[in-house]
Amino acid sequence: MSKSIKIVMGLIIFVVILGTYIFGSYNKLVSQEEEVNAQWAIVESKLQRRYDLIPNLVETVKGSMKQEQEVFGQIADARSKMAGTNSVEEKVAAANALEGSIGKLLVVMENYPELKSNENVTKLMDELSGSENRISVERDRYNGSVMEYNKSIKTFPKNIIAKIFNFESMKYFESNKEAQNAPKVNL
């Protein structure tokens, strides 16, 4: 075999290996991107469940607490914002605002012992608590998927492939900075 044939064969093998790696990396990135999107859809479904439960809770509690209109107004505003969101960032901000309003409602409810004995309120609070737990679990899963995807598109040599095919970093679902402090309600 002549030297030129060996060089051509070597180049062909190199191109095949490189092409296989590029196609494999591309498919892996697509798969990870879809996993992030699917996990976000799950988070959205859990947020929707909470969104649907809140009016029932508010209406049940509202009858017993006419003087707490400010908290109810904040919840209504937060729900409206949640309904009008499109991007992940907008949905995260709206979900955090809604979460803060719910926290204030819970503090207010603590100051009304008669509400705790109301069976409808208790059932709705249990449903809401279950929703909050599901949201927390799915947020964690979403953030884990985002972390894996973002690592893939930032590590060498996949970062080159990610740039060529326009894979972009995904945003984490971060909690509201105010979530670190307990809500304060003045009665």
Q: How far are the Cα atoms of 72, 81, 107 from residue 114, in angstroms, in the given order? A: 18, 31, 14
- The residue with tokens 């990396």 is 25
Could you tell me the pTM of the whole model? 0.62
Across the 187 residues of the chain, what is the mean pLDDT of every consecutive 10-residue run? 86 92 90 90 82 73 60 74 77 77 71 63 75 84 91 90 91 68 45
Q: Domains of the chain, with CATH numbers? A: 3-180 (1.20.1440.20)
Residues 6+ apart with CB under 8 A from 51: 79, 82, 83, 98
Q: What is the per-residue pLDDT across 126-157, written as a single tens digit (0 to 9) for each?
A: 777 787 888 888 888 888 999 999 999 899 98
Q: Which DSSP letter does residue 2 get? A: -
Determine the 3-state secondary structure of 36 from DSSP.
Answer: helix
